[in-house]
Chain A
């Protein structure tokens, strides 16, 4: 499903449960099924859009990919190497190759550090520059992401949300990573600023050739940036397809209902699929197919048997009994 280029990041059968206490007095531990047996490949230099409702586990999956969270089971392969249980010095060296951009530009920058130190700390840590060179290098990078030169000596609070996000981007690309996990990078911004930041992200990808794992709940954003789209629901992968095909002929009933909810101006009116009910609790996910409680195509088998995630059309993967 990569269209020729090699696989940079490969997540295989990742599980991650978070324990939560049922109540203050009970000793029983419940588990939130954040990521429940998910596999996903990110090709080098491409953008994989990861989409889903809030709470479906997409952010968790993004952090697992960077080993900021350790998975309960499953394998993370980066650049052909199993990094699932790398530790210490080796893991630190690998971190250089993978960086992250956060959703909230206010909590993502250390309020007590100058911008040049925020951007340049990675170089210091990896011995790529000394203190004197850092200022110079940081200046160049800040200009590249569309900030002025005097930004280097300021503190984060002196910037707007969009500017802060540019600082976050500069920090992420400072180490010339091969993979950047962009965790809802524009969701907290005004629409006009969103477009600028998206364009900056795409320009930089052209220039540096890194791959993006682009997490978002906004289908318009995903459509704009992605080569491949992965759709998650309640901790499970529902569909992975090339972006163009997914948006023009979604296969999985969940994907179809999602797309029908995107408002559009012009074009032919589409079928409108309105989902019943609420998203079930991830603490007690429904048996069988996770989506069957709300699916318009659900039959008896869906309540009992969890559908396998398989190639249902050339280059397209789905988890549904009827696709």
Chain B
């Protein structure tokens, strides 16, 4: 098992190089350049100033040389300096923002599991019941609704009309003057809508996935055998059916990492949350190549690690793979 993990980790290196190459090319094909904000849109910028900027950032070099330099720095885990006016280290910028994004994603993942799995199991066990039909319609409606639109509606409802929840940021303006409990409560209130929306799409998908897994397992003969042994329905469902139906969910977990990071770009921008998603959005808008590349590489790395963890988790949970 350890050798397997080691081999998989080594394999991530060529994958990361490939991903970064594609990303690098994609950024350079996009219209506008990294210095267009500072130079092109600035009426006072002279041709001389622009040339200095271009040379400073090495943009006068052919693209393969630029990529080679970037890759060489990456080999020493140096993400470079941001092109933004503050000129800070990319790694530093990402480091201060990643905890926010991870917190929201982990919370929404927890929400997905707590709601979607019982929902899917109950829908499958009571297939075609009213509960199943209503949850099916609700889930598909939810699936079809664009998250950003739903986010705006919820902001209007809870933030403006009812005034129950704050609509942006992570903390209130008076956060520093609050007591410890007050601070926690303040943060929690700010997290409700983002977590709900981050988990919304996954909720719909996961509950359907769980339902179809359960239906597949329930029609197996060993479920009938368990019933024939004299187990009560609860034991049949939880001891025999659920444990088998949960297995494939592990894989979905690993695959959902890029979705969560992609989703973060949208909801962090809508809710003005200072996380990695918002940073990425700003980076793209200002063609901040080192920043974009840095976030993409970290995102790709997290995705690959997620997949690896899923495979390892699957192997640990399923005796058929464990032995083989």
Identify the A interface with B (CB < 8 A): 63, 66, 68, 92-93, 95-96, 98-100, 102-104, 107-112, 118, 121-122, 125-126, 155, 157-158, 168, 171, 175
Interface residues of B in 188-227 (CB under 8 A from A): 220-222, 224-227
15 A–B pairs (Cβ distance < 8 Å), ordered by A: A68-B224, A95-B228, A95-B229, A96-B230, A100-B228, A102-B224, A107-B221, A108-B220, A110-B226, A111-B318, A121-B229, A168-B225, A171-B229, A175-B229, A175-B230
Nearest CB to that of A171 among chain B residues? B225
Which residue of B225, B227, B319 is within 8 Å of A102 (Cβ)?
A: B225
B240 at interface, CB cutoff 8 A: yes
Min Cβ gap A67→B in Å is: 9
B224 touches A100 (CB 8 A): yes
B168 at interface, CB cutoff 8 A: no
Nearest CB to that of A100 among chain B residues? B228
B323 touches A158 (CB 8 A): yes
Q: Given known contacts A111-B320, A112-B243, A157-B319, is B229 in contact with A102 (CB within 8 Å)?
A: no
B222 touches A108 (CB 8 A): yes
A122 touches B229 (CB 8 A): yes
Q: Given known contacts A66-B228, A95-B229, A126-B230, is B320 in contact with A110 (CB within 8 Å)?
A: no
Complexed CA–CA distance, A2 and B185 (Å): 77
Query: A111 to chain B: which residues have CB within 8 Å?
Result: 244, 318-320
Nearest CB to that of A102 among chain B residues? B221
Nearest CB to that of B319 among chain A residues? A155
Complexed CA–CA distance, A273 and B227 (Å): 43
B1 at interface, CB cutoff 8 A: no
Query: B228 to chain A: which residues have CB within 8 Å?
Result: 66, 68, 95, 98-100
Min Cβ gap B99→A in Å is: 37
Min Cβ gap B267→A in Å is: 36
Which residue of A99, A100, A112 is within 8 Å of B244 (Cβ)?
A: A112
B323 touches A157 (CB 8 A): yes
Query: A99 to chain B: which residues have CB within 8 Å?
Result: 228-229
A121 touches B243 (CB 8 A): no
A109 touches B222 (CB 8 A): yes
Query: A96 to chain B: which residues have CB within 8 Å?
Result: 230
A92 touches B244 (CB 8 A): no
Central interface residue in A63, A68, A111, A118, by most chain B CB within 10 Å:
A111
Q: Given known contacts A112-B318, A112-B319, is B244 in contact with A95 (CB within 8 Å)?
A: no
Q: Given known contacts A110-B226, A111-B244, A171-B225, is B232 in contact with A92 (CB within 8 Å)?
A: yes
Query: B284 to chain A: which residues have CB within 8 Å?
Result: none
Query: B319 to chain A: which residues have CB within 8 Å?
Result: 111-112, 155, 157
Complexed CA–CA distance, A111 and B230 (Å): 19
Q: Given known contacts A155-B320, A157-B323, A158-B323, is B230 in contact with A104 (CB within 8 Å)?
A: no
Query: B227 to chain A: which residues have CB within 8 Å?
Result: 68, 95
Min Cβ gap B322→A in Å is: 9
Complexed CA–CA distance, A217 and B221 (Å): 19
Complexed CA–CA distance, A95 and B225 (Å): 11
